[in-house]
Amino acid sequence: MKITVDDGLCDGLGQCALVAPEVFALDDDERLVVAPEPARELAGKVAAAARACPVRAISVEES
């Protein structure tokens, strides 16, 4: 699965990290950090995290 974050849209609100903390986290400067290769079984959580983003800055491609 390929996760892309639009940095111009992301404001570090952290809603994705609440839904899928295994994959998304905010660093000390509230910048989003995405785990490089999330396990396939996290696909459902990643999709939910993308939906939780207020500006839909996250897109996910199934590989």
Binding site for another protein (CB under 8 A): 9, 11-13, 15, 18-19, 30, 48, 51-56
Q: Among residues 15 and 34, whose Cβ is nearest to another protein?
A: 15
Give 49-56 contacts, CB < 8 A, sequence gap 24+: 49/15, 49/16, 49/17, 49/19, 49/20, 49/23, 49/24, 50/16, 52/15, 52/16, 52/18, 52/19, 53/10, 53/13, 53/15, 53/16, 54/13, 54/15, 55/9, 55/10, 55/11, 56/9
Kindly state the smallest distance separating residue 39's Cβ from another protein, in Å.
20
Q: Among residues 3 and 50, whose Cβ is nearest to another protein?
A: 50
Kindly state the smallest distance separating residue 54's Cβ from another protein, in Å.
5
